[in-house]
Amino acid sequence: MKNLSIDVETYSSVNLAKSGVYRYCDCPDFEILLFGYSADGGPVQVVDLTAGEKLPDAVRTALTDATVTKWAFNAQFERVCLSRFLALPVGTYLDPASWRCTMVWAATLGLPLSLEGVGAVLGLEKQKLKEGKDLIRYFCTPSKTKNGDTLRHYPADAPDKWATFKAYNLRDVETEMAIQERLRKFPVPDSEWVNYHLDQQINDRGIMLDRKLVAQAIRCDEEFKRTHMEQARSVTGLENPNSPAQLKAWLAEKGVEAESLSKAAVMQMLEEADGEVELALSLRQELAKSSVKKYTAMETVVGSDDRARGLIQFYGANRTGRYAGRLVQVQNLPQNHLPDLEQVRSLIRNGDFSAVEMLYDSVPLVLSELIRTAFIPKPGCRFFVADFAAIEARVIAWIAGESWRQDVFAQGGDIYCASASQMFHVPVEKHGQNAHLRQKGKIAELALGYGGSVGALKAMGALNYGLTELELKPLVDAWRQSNPRICRFWWDVDTAAKTCIKERTATETHGIRFFYQSGMMFIVLPSGRKLTYVKPKMGTNRFGGESVTYEGVGEQKKWIRLESYGPKFVENIVQATARDILAEAMLRLDAAGYKIVMHVHDEAVIEAPAETSLEDICRVMGQAPTWANGLLLRADGYICDFYKKD
């Protein structure tokens, strides 16, 4: 046997969507119900484990045989489930090196991240059976009875449904194999499978959570909400002061007409309010800040060994191949700015909530800033955090050939100061000459690199940082005049993409290649990896101009026709290249023996003994790949005993 295609159906009382597969399998009542498989492309077989059927010896042996390639759609699920089925110890999983994921394959081609979605887009003859969701709900999850008890359905409860469920399991294997066959012309490069296997190892390793801090943060929030709601009821006399309708009516009685109770509207009303109206609005403002969703997600996800797993999804952003956050969503953790972070963390952890309320203006903001600190290294270790400095700014300058920016990076300068200096033609120093201009340089850098204009500056919060409406358009013009090569890069890419699609011919600009094949446009990155745009064609944009459109996953995860143009393609190219740099850096760190437990954007979090060299970690991470000749990288780092932003 060389290849084994697998699909399993399982039961667990743990909610898979909220807890992730690792915690799901950690549950004592977890079991595999059906095991569908095909060996070397042969007929699909379904093993009914609930009926006492056994896996054939050859199949069972193949699961741990490194020479047999195991295939599945979202292979992480099958691999982790089968690790529990084989009774591997908690925290130990089947080696991902011999596994391949058809979902990842589909993602590399810009296709949906669901078996049903891929089957529909590819127009497969044998697609996922639509009744599967109802059958999974019936057999794979506990049901609630009218009196609130939980009930589990067994095959004997509905033999006809069970027979259909077995057919569903068989069809999933057939669909997965059909996807493999349809995508065979566009194989995933071996280098990407290497990246995938490291990703799986990082997810298997997981990261430790401070359970006590998490539990106390949730308790603190509950107490805060209770006391503030009681105070709000006392002030307003309302049964539910959180109700917009009730509060608006109360405000109207007090002579305050409130069309909206949004965050911005409440802030505006507070400027003129006084007395009990001011107090009621302030209480509403504080209650609106109160959210412990990430803490509750942590409680839901964490395993019996205090580690949270499955927080990163490989190729989660299928347009660029960037990693995505899952479950706790580590990609959008609130930043921390409290100067005495360790002190307030200790107060919350020890349940001294009254001291927190006395010492800090806002308990919800304190809890928000402490979210990162719930991630902790295992005993005897510390976190070594290393990240790339201004990675996207460096990549776009390197590809576009914007030499003055390259000079800034070569000299270890501050790109925000340098950009402001270039735009306003005066020296700008972070804590020196014309320091007030640095913020304008920073906003311009963050908002304008991919064709953004006044709208992008506003979206970046420019008006909240002291800029006026009249300054925005001149700021855009100044940035573009200072970066002519980047602006040319946008439109050279625009021309290359349009020519490729119109003439179905290969084009190239700035070392980036474009070619058309089998109804798709491919953009070849400096790393050699390809970005894929399905069924591209020329269309008309909302301004009446010519634009590129292609099919992809859009809003609400629906498969729709999307629009793009030069600067947007450049954004994809730059972000995808930055992703490739991070992927290679993580491979180097792993090869050097450093254990990555999490990574966020362009940052790697390593769990290591205290005597580990941060300097060496930054040196390894900061090396430019062989394919990026002339790219100036720098990795900075810090050491901590709980995760935080330095």
The DSSP-derived string for 16-71 is HHHHHHHHHHHSTT-EEEEEEEEETT---EEEEGGGT----HHHHHHTT-TTSEEE
Per the domain annotation, does 595 fall within a domain?
no
Complete edge-to-edge strand list for the sheet that includes strand 3-11: 45-48, 31-39, 3-11, 69-72, 99-101
**Residues 206/597, Cβ–Cβ less than 8 Å:** yes
Half-sphere exposure of 553 (CA within 13 A, CB side): 20
Task: Report the distance separating Cα 454 and Cα 239, nearest Å.
Answer: 45
Are 141 and 31 within one domain?
yes
- The whole-number pLDDT of residue 194 equals 98
Secondary structure (3-state) at 446: helix
The token duo for 579 is 């992703």
Per the domain annotation, does 249 fall within a domain?
yes
The token duo for 484 is 């002519």
- The segments of the chain whose pLDDT lies below 70 read 127-128, 290
Q: What is the pLDDT of residues 186-223, one digit of tens each?
A: 999 999 999 999 999 999 999 999 999 999 999 999 99
Are 33 and 95 within one domain?
yes
- Domain end, chosen from 161, 188, 215, is at 188
Interhelix angle 403-410/415-424, rounded to 10 degrees, is 140
**Residues 475/483, Cβ–Cβ less than 8 Å:** no
The token duo for 521 is 């446009």
- Phi/psi of residue 8, nearest 5 degrees: -120, 150
Residue matched to tokens 């300054």 = 471
Amino acid residing at 31: E
Per the domain annotation, does 132 fall within a domain?
yes
Dihedral (C-alpha) 120, 125, 130, 131: value to the nearest 10 degrees? -170
Q: What is the pLDDT of residues 79-118, one digit of tens each?
A: 999 999 999 998 999 999 999 999 999 999 999 988 888 9
Are 340 and 473 within one domain?
no
Task: Report the distance separating Cα 49 and Cα 8, nearest Å.
Answer: 10
Length of the chain: 646
Are 141 and 226 within one domain?
no
Are 239 and 110 within one domain?
no
Helix (H) or strand (E) holding 21: helix 16-26
Contacts of 371 (CB under 8 A, 6+ apart): 294, 295, 333, 334
- The whole-number pLDDT of residue 195 equals 98
Q: How many domains does the chain have?
A: 3
- Phi/psi of residue 445, nearest 5 degrees: -60, -45
Per the domain annotation, does 337 fall within a domain?
yes
The region that residue 87 occupies, defined by phi over 0 for left and psi between -120 and 50 for alpha, beta otherwise, is left
| Residue among 68, 612, 641, 169 nearest 376 (CA) | 641
315 CB burial (10 A radius; 0-12, 13-18, 19+): buried
Domain residue limits at 420: 403-482
Secondary structure (3-state) at 383: strand
Secondary structure (3-state) at 297: helix
| Residue among 616, 618, 623 nearest 646 (CA) | 618
Per the domain annotation, does 599 fall within a domain?
no
Identify the bridge partners of residue 607 per DSSP, sorted by sequence position.
Answer: 383, 595
* CATH label of the domain that carries residue 171: 3.30.420.10
- The whole-number pLDDT of residue 552 equals 92
458 CB burial (10 A radius; 0-12, 13-18, 19+): middle
- Domain end, chosen from 482, 505, 539, is at 482
- Phi/psi of residue 237, nearest 5 degrees: 75, 10
Half-sphere exposure of 21 (CA within 13 A, CB side): 22
The token duo for 435 is 């320091």
Are 302 and 364 within one domain?
yes
**Residues 521/536, Cβ–Cβ less than 8 Å:** yes
- The whole-number pLDDT of residue 256 equals 80
Are 106 and 78 within one domain?
yes
Are 436 and 291 within one domain?
no
Are 154 and 227 within one domain?
no
Per the domain annotation, does 144 fall within a domain?
yes
| Residue among 233, 216, 265 nearest 366 (CA) | 216
Interhelix angle 469-482/438-448, rounded to 10 degrees, is 70
Per the domain annotation, does 624 fall within a domain?
no
Are 30 and 111 within one domain?
yes
Identify the bridge partners of residue 596 per DSSP, sorted by sequence position.
Answer: 606
- The whole-number pLDDT of residue 145 equals 76
Identify the bridge partners of residue 101 per DSSP, sorted by sequence position.
Answer: 72
Are 181 and 210 within one domain?
no
- Domain end, chosen from 188, 216, 249, is at 188
The token duo for 201 is 């190892």
Are 27 and 153 within one domain?
yes
pTM of the model: 0.92
| Exposure letters 416-452 (e unless 16+ CB within 10 A, then b) | bbbbbbbbbeeebeeeeeeeebbebbbbbbbbbbbbb
Per the domain annotation, does 24 fall within a domain?
yes
